[in-house]
């Protein structure tokens, strides 16, 4: 039975462990020492003092500054590039163009379709074309305008449906497109059908369907992109970059620069927010490296905010058509969806996005018949990619809206209808065989209903005031690695020397979500030591074992398990040492408050340092390695790997809003956010992740949109791209639902991404409850709401 707790609840367990232990004797379940405590982030004090070092804060002797020249047209042949005037400008040290590095790269091995800079043609307005390294940023900025690029315009693909058509080969944006549609600009098509969808719709007691449209949105992290490359005196490339995924950048650099990977060190700086927007290997990383190799000097790229928007990788603009069939008593019978997502100029994570937009609709409800046709297209717009809740957010809005419509049609309370259809715990989804372990969605929804006084509000509030619900689920890490190999998905190394400090080496990237802290907690828990002893070294590829990095909400689950495994190895050694010192062979020792306590004779104790020094006799520093690899999961059909995860989180949100029918303006009043994250390893961080997700979801729901005219982004700044301010953000009441996952570290699942998706439909459904209009376009801006209200009034007459 999951434990439901509210914001601000703490547990302090200093007593000896009594309960369930792992094989090494470490606690597997509560009571814990540091797990479940509200622990400030390991790097919080560096951040609040300004001591934390981000890429743009770094300086090197002799460092050059780079500016990038970008395409000024969405689609054109490059007829010529003349850099001679730029090269002649005093203070300019090097100029590079696409000819300097033609090897293609991309985050997915199947979509190697990016180049450092465009050389034959440009495919979006903002694409890098050339770059300059100069003594100062001003000189570099002046020099790029001296580069003369001649373009010959090509037909532009700015509307998703244009990309579905057959075109001449020279109008295909990339050489490799979907095999099933070889003459188009379709990047990836996914077609899946399971169960008898047609029959389900025939038998249905209620059918709901609608067409939806979503604008593209951007991550809006506060730190603009920045990178420093340094080709050093040892002929090695040192790349300082705020990467969520240093490992993929490492691979891509090696490919583009034609260097062995060991000749490159990627050093992750502090990351000023990522949300998926810093998880691709990037052109500016390649450009900085090329310029540094050319000049043998450190080269820094710092983008301005507009360039950061243009670099893109945000959530796909989406057009979709969905239908759902229900029985008369409210049992979900079938889901049929047809989705086009606009991938923009590059592949990025898009093959995954194309699958996720369909397969991640197989929860949190049981779907007995499922059909999905999804197409990701290339266009001459800013590249789309992975953004928090990758691939699940827009389809979730659609399904949650349809469930709400069905509830109205069937005369069943929307929460009740959801309760009737939730997946059970410890089950497999019917077709994809997604393994559901623990599932606290029912408890979460019940608690959110109770706290929001749902029963007295839904359908009962005055006109202009409404309440709505949205539920969701999300993967706790993709079980499918991007690169097919036999390596574990996460590896963690520990080293403890004479000083008693515990170095935790991992390439899991702390991007502000607190991954360093969670790894430290896992190690501290197993070894029963203070968090202060633990120093997480997660920045450099020379010393950190490979971890696939911070995406797909995987770090707590996968790197956390690896950290725990490594710590258990050390625990064995320390327990042996304690047994030697005390003569208590064959006894278990509990590790609590820096002491090793004999379980059967609690007065027999050895200090942590004493045990450590005994264990180090003849071997020196203790070292250990732990790793995590997903178990074999899922079905066997082609494409069945997409959406697989060792575990899934669940959420149930309720939102209350006021809508001004005169202006269409929506004021969110409160959000009750129940999220099942398994065991909350650090409730302070869990709340922070959920509150942040709610805030970001509210932005997509109500105000955030990337607006284009003729392929040019119109609102590449924080004034016109409207992220909710404190005044736009209502109170958020977090309800942590703790269901114990059998495989997650100490029972944990994800919480960083899954809590975003349910906000948007909860708001949309609340708007319906308030003013009786269904919103099929997101964001639900005042003009769109007003239009919908006017349409309803016209039709009413």
Partner 1 sequence: MAKQLLKLKVNGRDVVVAVEPYHTLAQVLRNELNLTGTKVGCDMGTCGCCTVHIDGKAKLSCLTLALECQGTSVHTIESLNEYQMHPLQKAFAECGGSQCGYCTPGFIMKSAELLAKNPDPTREEIKAALSGNLCRCTGFMKIYDAVEQAASELRKKDAPQPTPIKV
**Which residues of the chain form contacts with partner 1 (CB under 8 A)?**
38, 40-41, 43-54, 56-57, 59, 138, 219-224, 270-275, 304-305, 511-514, 684-685, 687-688, 691-696, 717-719, 723, 725-727, 729, 731-732
Residue 423, CA distances (Å) to 1, 101, 671 in order: 15, 50, 24
Least gap, CB of 557 to partner 1 (angstroms):
19
The runs of H, that is alpha helices, within 296-422 are: 305-311, 350-359, 393-410, 414-419
Q: Are 249 and 281 in contact (CB under 8 A)?
A: yes
Give me the least distance between CB of 111 and partner 1, in Å please. Answer: 27
At closest approach, how far in Å is the CB of 334 from partner 1?
36
Closer by beta carbon to partner 1, 59 or else 794 = 59
Q: Which is nearer to partner 1, 167 or 723 (CB)?
A: 723
Measure the CA–CA gap between 465 and 463, rounded to whole angstroms.
6
Output the smallest distance, CB 72 to partner 1, in A: 21
**Residue 381: in which H helix or E strand, if any?**
none
DSSP state of 112: -
* Strands of 362-451, DSSP E: 370-377, 427-428, 435-436
Nearer to partner 1, 610 or 728 (CB): 728
- Quote the least distance from Cβ 629 to partner 1, whole Å: 29
User: Given the complex with partner 1, which of 51 and 235 has the nearer CB atom?
Assistant: 51
Residue 462, class by beta-carbon neighbours within 10 Å (0-12 exposed, 13-18 middle, 19+ buried)? exposed
How big, in percent rounded to 5, are the helix, strand and coil portions of the chain?
30, 25, 45
Q: Count Cβ neighbours within 10 Å for each residue of 396-407 and write b for 16 or more, e otherwise.
A: bbbbbbbbbbbb
User: What are the tokens at 752?
Assistant: 């960083």
Judge whether 90 and 261 are in contact, CB under 8 Å.
no
What is the rounded distance in angstroms from the CA atom of residue 200 to the CA atom of residue 694?
Answer: 35
Q: How many residues does the chain have?
A: 797
Nearest residue to 534 via CA among 51, 41, 46: 41
φ/ψ of residue 216, rounded to 5: -70, 150
- C-alpha to C-alpha distance for 749 and 740, rounded to whole angstroms: 8
Provide the minimum distance between the beta carbon of 7 and partner 1 in the complex, in angstroms, as a whole number. 8
Closer CB to partner 1, residue 554 or residue 695?
Answer: 695
Nearer to partner 1, 220 or 281 (CB): 220
Question: Least distance to partner 1 from the beta carbon of 227, Å?
Answer: 16
Using the minimum distance from each CB to partner 1, give the nearer residue, 693 or 781: 693
Beta carbon of residue 465, minimum distance to partner 1 (angstroms, whole number) = 21
Q: Shortest Cβ distance from residue 58 to partner 1 (Å)?
A: 8
- SS3 state at 210: strand
- We find the least distance from the C-beta atom of residue 275 to partner 1, in angstroms, to be 7
Q: How far is the CB of 512 from partner 1 (least distance, A)?
A: 3
Complex with partner 1: residue 479 or 701, whichever CB lies closer: 701
* d(C-alpha 362, C-alpha 473), whole Å: 9
Residue whose CB is less far from partner 1, 255 or 278: 278
| Residue 115 structure tokens | 């180049």
Cβ closest to partner 1, residue 130 vs residue 271: 271
Considering the complex, state which of residue 691 and residue 738 has its C-beta at the smaller distance from partner 1: 691
| Measured distance CA(1)–CA(729) in Å, rounded | 33
Tell me how far, at minimum, the Cβ of 717 lies from partner 1, in Å: 6
Structure tokens at 348: 């990025």
Tokens at 291, concatenated: 């310029």
Residues 251, 487: Cα–Cα separation, whole Å: 15
- Please identify, using beta-carbon distances, which residue of 304 and 329 lies nearer to partner 1: 304
Give the 3-state secondary structure of 777-788: EECCCHHHHHHH
Give the gyration radius of the chain's Cα atoms.
27
């Amino acid at each position: 039975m999951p434990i439901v707790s509210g914001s601000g609840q703490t547990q302090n367990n200093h007593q000896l462990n009594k309960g369930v232990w792992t094989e090494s004797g470490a606690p597997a379940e509560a009571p814990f020492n540091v797990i479940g405590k509200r622990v400030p982030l390991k790097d919080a004090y560096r951040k609040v003092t300004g001591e934390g070092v981000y890429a743009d804060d770094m300086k090197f002797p002799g460092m050059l500054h780079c500016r990038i020249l970008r395409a000024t047209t969405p689609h054109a042949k490059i007829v010529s590039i003349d850099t001679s005037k730029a090269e002649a400008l005093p203070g300019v040290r090097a100029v590079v163009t696409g000819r300097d590095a033609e090897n293609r790269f991309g985050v997915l091995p199947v979509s190697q379709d990016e180049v450092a800079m465009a050389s034959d043609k440009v495919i979006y307005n903002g694409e890098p074309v050339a770059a300059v390294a100069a003594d100062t940023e001003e000189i570099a900025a002046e020099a790029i305008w001296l580069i003369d690029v001649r373009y010959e315009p090509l037909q532009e693909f700015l509307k998703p449906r244009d990309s579905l058509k057959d075109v001449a080969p020279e109008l295909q944006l990339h050489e490799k497109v979907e095999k099933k549609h070889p003459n188009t600009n379709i990047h990836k098509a996914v077609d899946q059908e399971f169960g008898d969808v047609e029959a389900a719709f025939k038998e249905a007691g209620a059918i709901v369907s609608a067409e939806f449209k979503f604008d593209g949105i951007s991550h809006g992290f506060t730190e603009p992109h920045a990178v420093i490359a340094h080709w050093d005196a040892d002929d090695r490339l040192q790349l300082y970059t705020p990467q969520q995924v240093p490992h993929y950048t490492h691979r891509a650099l090696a490919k583009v620069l034609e260097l062995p990977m060991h000749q490159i060190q990627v050093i992750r700086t502090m990351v000023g927010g990522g949300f998926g927007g810093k998880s691709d290997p990037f052109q500016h990383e390649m450009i900085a490296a090329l310029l540094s190799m050319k000049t043998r000097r450190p080269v820094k790229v710092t983008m301005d905010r507009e360039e950061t928007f243009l670099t893109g990788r945000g959530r796909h603009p989406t057009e979709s058509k969905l239908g759902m069939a229900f029985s008369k008593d409210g049992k979900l019978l079938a889901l049929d969806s047809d989705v086009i997502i606009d991938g923009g100029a590059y592949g990025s994570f898009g093959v995954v996005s194309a699958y996720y937009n369909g397969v991640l609709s197989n929860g949190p409800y049981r779907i007995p018949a499922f059909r999905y046709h999804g197409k990701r297209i290339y266009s001459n717009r800013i590249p789309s990619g992975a953004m928090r809740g990758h691939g699940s957010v827009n389809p979730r809005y659609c399904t949650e809206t349809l469930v709400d419509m069905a509830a109205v049609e069937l005369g069943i309370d929307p929460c009740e209808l959801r309760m009737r259809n939730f997946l059970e715990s410890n089950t497999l989804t019917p077709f994809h065989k997604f393994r559901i372990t623990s599932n606290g969605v029912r408890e979460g929804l019940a608690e959110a209903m109770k706290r929001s006084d749902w029963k007295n509000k839904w359908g009962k509030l005055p006109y202009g005031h409404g309440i709505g619900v949205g539920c969701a689920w999300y993967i706790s890490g993709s079980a499918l690695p991007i690169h097919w190999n036999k390596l574990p998905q996460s590896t963690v190394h520990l080293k403890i020397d004479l000083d008693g400090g515990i170095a935790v080496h991992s390439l899991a990237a702390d991007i502000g979500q607190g991954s360093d802290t969670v790894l430290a907690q896992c190690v501290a828990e197993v070894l029963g030591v203070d968090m202060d002893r633990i120093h997480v070294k997660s920045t450099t590829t020379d010393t950190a074992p490979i971890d696939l990095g911070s995406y797909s909400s995987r770090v707590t689950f996968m790197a956390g398990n690896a950290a725990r495994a490594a710590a258990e190895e050390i625990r064995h050694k320390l327990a042996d040492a304690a047994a030697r010192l005390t003569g208590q062979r064959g006894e278990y020792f509990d590790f609590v408050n820096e002491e090793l306590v004999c379980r059967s004779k609690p007065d027999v104790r050895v200090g942590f340092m004493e045990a450590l020094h005994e264990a180090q006799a003849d071997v020196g520093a203790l070292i250990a390695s732990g790793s995590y690899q997903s178990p074999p999961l899922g079905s066997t059909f082609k494409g069945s790997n997409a959406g697989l995860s060792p575990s899934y989180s669940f959420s149930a949100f309720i939102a209350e809003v006021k809508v001004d029918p005169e202006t269409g303006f929506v004021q969110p009043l409160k959000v009750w956010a129940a999220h099942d994250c398994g065991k909350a390893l650090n409730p302070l961080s869990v709340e922070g992740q959920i509150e942040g997700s709610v805030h970001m979801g509210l932005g997509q729901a109500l105000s955030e949109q990337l607006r284009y005219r003729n392929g040019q982004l119109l609102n590449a700044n924080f004034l016109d791209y409207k992220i909710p301010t404190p005044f736009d953000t209502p109170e958020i009441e977090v309800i942590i639902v703790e269901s114990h996952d059998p495989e997650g570290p100490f029972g944990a699942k994800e919480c960083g991404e899954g809590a975003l998706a349910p906000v948007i439909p909860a708001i949309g459904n609340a708007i319906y409850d308030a003013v009786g209009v269904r919103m099929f376009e997101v964001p639900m801006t005042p003009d769109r709401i007003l239009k919908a209200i006017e349409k309803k009034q016209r039709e009413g007459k």
